[in-house]
Amino acid sequence: MSRPFVWGCCDCATAACDVYAALHGVDPLTAFRGAYSSRAEAKAFADSHGGMRALFARLMAATGAVRRDPRPGDLALSLGFAEQCVVICVAPGVFMSKGLRGVWTSHAAELGYGPR
């Protein structure tokens, strides 16, 4: 999370999945690392997989994660922003994500997934 923001290698999805992988030993983005390198490519990539919600659910299911109310260490999608992004739950009801200007926190997320 402390690295500079770079689409495709240190953005909201990749940074959150890096944390998830460090905590749980599985990277939800393994098959798609390097699939995009700009905001437009990230959006096109998600759209080509049915949108961000569908892509996120598919990636998490492929890791064996279960859908639930997010717990610390779980991944979720942010709410309340123009575009959805992947966030990591750091405490009950508190989520962090990598943004263009650093790390930000949120108190609203959906589609929480965590290990069995």
How confident is the model at residue 70, as a pLDDT?
95
Q: SS3 for the chain, per residue? A: CCCCCECCCECHHHHHHHHHHHHHCCCCCHHHCCCCCCHHHHHHHHHHCCCHHHHHHHHHHHCCCEECCCCCCCEEEECCCCCCCEEEEEECCEEEEEECCEEEEECCEEEEEECC
How confident is the model at residue 2, as a pLDDT?
86
How confident is the model at residue 94, as a pLDDT?
95
Q: Mean pLDDT of residues grouped by 10 in the chain (116 residues)?
A: 91 95 96 93 93 93 95 90 84 92 89 93
Domain boundaries, the chain: 12-114
How confident is the model at residue 41, as a pLDDT?
94
